[in-house]
Amino acid sequence: MLIEELVVDPLVVMQARAETLVQRKARTPIEAVRALASMQKKPHPFLNTVTEDDPLLLIGQVRYSQRTDGYDPVSTALRFAAAGADAIALFTDDSLYPADLDDLVMLSRAVSIPVIGQNYYADEYQIVEARAAGASALMLYAGLVERPVLRTLVSATQRNRMTAVVDVHDADELEYALSLSPYVISLSSARPGQPPGDIRQLRALRERMPMGTHAILSDPLYTVDQIAAAQALDVEAVILNEALLALPGGLARVR
């Protein structure tokens, strides 16, 4: 296990979000949100800067937790960007946090690197909202929605010019995800809301992926040793916890 964390039931979060989503749809029709999304600047390309000299992209995770004091998403994102992170991932769904879209807007405006929405998306309206907020990519969890819904979400993400990152944790999810032709597959050692396991178990999944398929690891990493283990999986990007910024040498040491 990478780190001991409290287990959160994402289905409970999704149900609560569905209730607030009804209110948002009534207040602002999707056509109005689409109009706002169309006015946003072009999304930053994601995973197109990988080179043989620097094969592992570093994604700094900005994470809201009701168990964490002093949450300052913009400050954390700016620290990651100044340290050389290649992208920022905003994760807010370990509780029903009402300001996540506001945070997405602020992060997208504060940094000049891609911002990835890590949310429990289940409706096309949320996809359009994320583009209107400035997201460049979205992580879509294959284990949380029915397959037709996942297909719709991937299509909506791509139509809104964002990079679709489909997160999988077993061979069945991977097989279906590959049939959707997303730009990126994200490998996870556990289902959403569960504590991460041993990332070495993901080797079999990585070997099932065809050549040319972009792969990242979605388990947040906390130590240099974990990053080395992730790189052995031949992934192109990893998600880093804020704790790595405090290491002597910071992200420069990681690279």
Residue 244 lies in a domain: yes
The pLDDT of residue 49 is above 80: no
The pLDDT-based confidence of 6 (bands split at 50, 70, 90) is very low
Could you tell me the pTM of the whole model? 0.90
Residue 5 lies in a domain: no
Mean pLDDT of 217-239: 90
Q: Do residues 119 and 93 make contact, with C-beta atoms less than 8 angstroms apart?
A: yes
Residue 136 lies in a domain: yes
131: CATH: 3.20.20.70
The predicted structure's pLDDT at residue 56: 87
Mean pLDDT of 152-181: 96
Residue 2 lies in a domain: no
% the chain with pLDDT above 70: 91
C-alpha neighbours within 13 Å on the C-beta side of residue 15: 4
Q: Which of 99, 105, 123, 119 has its CA nearest to residue 19? A: 123
Total structural domains within the chain: 1
In 10 A of CB 36, how many CB atoms?
14
The predicted structure's pLDDT at residue 133: 96
Residue 140 lies in a domain: yes
238 lies in which domain range?
A: 10-254
